Amino acid sequence: MILGIETSCDETAAALVTNDGRVLANVVSSQAKLHARYGGVVPEVASRHHLELLLPAVRQAFDDSGTRLDQVERVAVTQGPGLVGALLIGVSAAKALAWARRLPLVPVNHLHGHVASLYLEPDPVEPPFLCLLASGGHTLLLDVRDRRTLEVLGTTLDDAAGEAFDKGARLLGLGYPGGVEIDRLASDGDPEAFSFPVARVPGLDFSFSGLKTALLYTVRDLGPEETEGLRADLAASYQHAIVRALVERAEAAAQATGAERIAVVGGVASNSELRRSFSNAVFAPPALCTDNAAMIASAARFIEPIPYPQYLALDAFA
Ligand SMILES: Nc1ncnc2c1ncn2[C@@H]1O[C@H](COP(=O)(O)OP(=O)(O)OP(=O)(O)O)[C@@H](O)[C@H]1O
Ligand SMILES: [Mg+2]
């Protein structure tokens, strides 16, 4: 059994996963409400809350699954990328727990974790596939050959897709995090009401900053009252532009690599229009799209563990 710990951003998460990929417990304590009044995550506030919430989350995972620390064989933790202060809380806790039981430790790249959300029971996805990873900090096209190797084919040149959702939501006066709010509002709007441009950058990369500026100018031209009345149409058109960019590029990448399957992971993978728009793609289960520790424990199954006590000098990376 693997104990997974994730604290890279504003979710404090602990999970227990078996070596064959069954999730015994998956506890996610989101701080989103605490950060909402600032309109985004405040790194130092996130670190302090991780410190308070992490051990209760680990205890909850043992309670939920009826297991104990002495049944854990390996401890897995997100090493990066993320907010470095937030990551350090998880890394320190994981080291302490592993050290106390003389267990090996597995440092996990958060992005590998998102991909490994596809490898969990009951419906694991077998590579090879083309993976679209769309989250709050990243928009990547990955050529996934097997469970241990992936190659980056494309990335965003500016904002990430989730970031575009969050910034768009802010321009529309919606709450944080904005992706879910835009998704909800868009279902009552007309996606063709406004024509927002999707930048066409060369190769398989993405760019979302022009789209955000287009929304900013539209909202400015309309003024507060008209914007209020047209919010659903604005949200639907804006979402449509992001989704179209993601689908077009992912399908082009699949064609370029000859991949027969597209798999979608990361927070944006829970977007309802995105889930409808691919003709033939598999999606991570909604509960495993946004940050969680089950995906971190899942990734750890395919990474060489560091034996006790060599990991005591391990550092997080931003
Ligand atoms: N239904 C949805 N539609 C669109 N975006 C969504 C939806 N649900 C969540 N998101 C977006 O997903 C993002 C959060 O995803 P995730 O937790 O994977 O990102 P992160 O961990 O902050 O970034 P990274 O994984 O790159 O470090 C936010 O930007 C949020 O707005
Ligand atoms: Mg993430």
pLDDT for 34: 86
Note residues around ion ligand 2 (Cβ under 5 angstroms): 135, 291
| Mean pLDDT value across the chain | 96
Domain co-membership, 8 together with 148: no
| CATH number of the structural domain spanning residue 305 | 3.30.420.40
What does the pLDDT look like over 71-118, one tens digit per residue? 999 999 999 999 999 999 999 999 999 999 999 999 999 999 999 999
| Residue of 84, 87, 165 to mutate, ligand 1, most atoms within 8 A of C-beta | 165
pLDDT for 268: 98
Provide the whole-model pTM: 0.96
What does the pLDDT look like over 301-310, one tens digit per residue? 999 999 999 9
pLDDT above 90 covers a percentage of the chain that reads: 93
Domain co-membership, 74 together with 149: no
Query: 291: buried, middle or exposed (CB in 10 Å: 19+, 13-18, 0-12)?
Result: buried
At residue 51, does pLDDT exceed 90? yes
300 CA to centre of own chain: 17
Q: Whose CA is nearest to atom 15 of ligand 1?
A: 267
**C-alpha 226 to ligand 2 mean position (Å):** 35
User: Quick one: average pLDDT of 151-173?
Assistant: 96
At residue 215, does pLDDT exceed 90? yes
- Residue 318 included in any domain: no
Domain co-membership, 270 together with 156: yes
What does the pLDDT look like over 223-235, one tens digit per residue? 999 999 999 999 9
pLDDT for 35: 87
What does the pLDDT look like over 255-278, one tens digit per residue? 999 999 999 999 999 999 999 999
Q: Label residue 38 by pLDDT band (50, 70, 90).
A: confident
**C-alpha 73 to ligand 2 mean position (Å):** 25
Domain co-membership, 191 together with 223: yes
pLDDT for 295: 98
- Residue 173 included in any domain: yes
DSSP helix/strand/coil, 84: helix
Domain co-membership, 16 together with 118: yes
What does the pLDDT look like over 112-146, one tens digit per residue? 999 999 999 999 999 999 999 999 999 999 999 99
At residue 218, does pLDDT exceed 90? yes
**C-alpha 192 to ligand 2 mean position (Å):** 30
Domain co-membership, 61 together with 178: no
Q: Which of 223, 237, 244 is nearest to 193 (CA)?
A: 237
How many structural domains are present in the chain? 2
User: Quick one: average pLDDT of 31-43?
Assistant: 87
Domain co-membership, 94 together with 141: no
Instruction: Quote the radius of gyration of the chain (alpha carbons, Å).
Output: 20
Structure tokens at 165: 């959702």
- Residue 202 included in any domain: yes
Q: Which domain holds residue 29?
A: 2-123+291-313
Domain co-membership, 119 together with 133: no
Ligand 1 nearest atom to the CA of residue 161, by list position: 29
Per DSSP, the residues of 86-111 read HHHHHHHHHHHHHHHTT--EEEEEHH
Structure tokens at 314: 């391990």
- Residue 162 included in any domain: yes
pLDDT above 70 covers a percentage of the chain that reads: 100
- Residue 23 included in any domain: yes
pLDDT for 114: 98
CA distance 267 to 225: 31
**C-alpha 317 to ligand 2 mean position (Å):** 15
Residues sharing a CB contact under 8 Å with residue 92, sequence separation 6 or more, in sequence order: none
Domain co-membership, 32 together with 107: yes
| Residue of 247, 268, 317 to mutate, ligand 1, most atoms within 8 A of C-beta | 268
Domain co-membership, 60 together with 175: no
DSSP helix/strand/coil, 114: helix
CA distance 298 to 261: 21
Decide if 242 contacts 191 (C-beta within 8 A). Answer: no
Ligand 1 nearest atom to the CA of residue 177, by list position: 31
Domain co-membership, 112 together with 142: no
79 lines ligand 1 (CB under 6 A): no
CA distance 257 to 246: 17
What does the pLDDT look like over 191-200, one tens digit per residue? 999 999 888 8
- Residue 242 included in any domain: yes
Domain co-membership, 79 together with 189: no
Per DSSP, the residues of 258-295 read T-S-EEEESGGGG-HHHHHH-SSEEE--GGGTSS-SHH
Tokens 């727990």 sit on residue: 97
CA distance 202 to 131: 19
Ligand 1 nearest atom to the CA of residue 289, by list position: 18
137 lines ligand 1 (CB under 6 A): yes
